[in-house]
Amino acid sequence: MRSVLPNLRCAGAGAVFFLGAALALSAAPPVVTSLDVRGLQIGKVNSLTFTGTDLLPNPRLLTTARLARQTLKNGASPNRITLEVELAPGAQPGFENWWLVTDHGVSARGIFATDSLGQKPFAAKVDALPVALHGTLAGSEVKEVTFHGKMGQEVICEMEAQRLESKVRPVLNLYGPGNKLVEFSLPMAELRGDTRLEAKLPADGEYRLQIHDLQYAAAAPGQSA
């Protein structure tokens, strides 16, 4: 009996060990491949949609920003989830680190901005200013967004890319009615390689803001806001 029982216990322990190893292999940490907006509006409830793999179970946002609350919306899947997030009172504009956490691990670190602007995915046209648009820029791609402006209106267009750890070296060109170049801006050292364009609009009409990489060779990752 003494020679049999120890063998049975070893076999049982071995079975538990290998089962545990199999479970660990299938329980991978979350991998986020895209985030629809890389910003949170202060004083509002924000929806953040994460796409990737292994985003379940029990996903939650870990961030250096102070949060008042966060809620997982219905319809979550391992490849796509949406969190409703609200910053805590007293939040200040800036840049914050974030991670997506599940019961199986932690994603790689990301960065988003916090400010008072409405946060939206990039669109070819905006109906009202101010607004923060979020998207990606790859290789030689050129993106444009149009808006209606009035003579004498002062506009500021700032692109955040390098500060979000993107490889894009942003350039902005603003064209007015008649396709005339109104102003342009190049990467600025004081913005850590990002850029800001300031202009006083010369006439009423449609304006077109053009966005591209300095050498038309944006490397991944190419996210921007």
- What does DSSP say about strands 119-121 and 132-136: parallel, antiparallel, or unpaired? parallel
* Spacing of C-alpha 98 from chain mean position: 10
Residues, the chain, total? 225
Domain range enclosing 168: 122-224
- The reply to whether 77 and 127 lie within a common domain is no
Residues 82, 161: one domain?
no
Q: Is 10 in a helix, a strand, or coil?
A: helix
Look at residues 67, 94, 115 and tell me which one is the last residue of a structural domain.
115
Residues 159, 198, single domain; the answer is yes
Q: What is the dihedral of CA 54, 55, 60, 65, to 10 degrees?
A: 100
Of 98, 115, 132, the position where a domain reaches its end is 115
Q: Which residues partner with 184 through β-bridges?
A: 173
Closest listed residue to residue 132, CA positions, set 36, 62, 207, 203:
36
The residues that bridge with 205 in the sheet, in sequence order, are 149
111 with 146, same domain? no
Report the C-alpha gap between 225 and 112 in whole angstroms. Answer: 9
For residue range 120-148, list pLDDT tens digits in order: 999 999 999 999 999 999 999 999 999 99
* CATH number assigned to the domain comprising residue 73: 2.60.40.10
Q: What residue ranges of the chain have pLDDT lower than 50?
A: 1-24
Are 96 and 165 contacting, i.e. CB atoms less than 8 angstroms apart? Answer: no
Query: How distant, in Å, are the alpha carbons of 160, 163, 168, 178, 188 from that of 114?
Result: 12, 13, 20, 36, 21
Q: Are residues 168 and 189 in the same domain?
A: yes
Query: Same domain, yes or no, for 78 and 148?
Result: no
pLDDT of res. 26: 59
In sequence order, the 6+-apart residues with CB closer than 8 A to the CB of 3 are none
Integer-rounded Cα Rg, in Å, for the chain is 24
Residue 87 pairs in a beta bridge with 67
Of 92, 115, 138, the one marking the end of a domain is 115
Do 130 and 88 share a structural domain?
no
* Residue listed under structure tokens 């209106």: 153
The residue type found at 92 is Q
Structure tokens at 91: 């939040």
The answer to whether 91 and 42 have CB atoms below 8 angstroms apart is yes
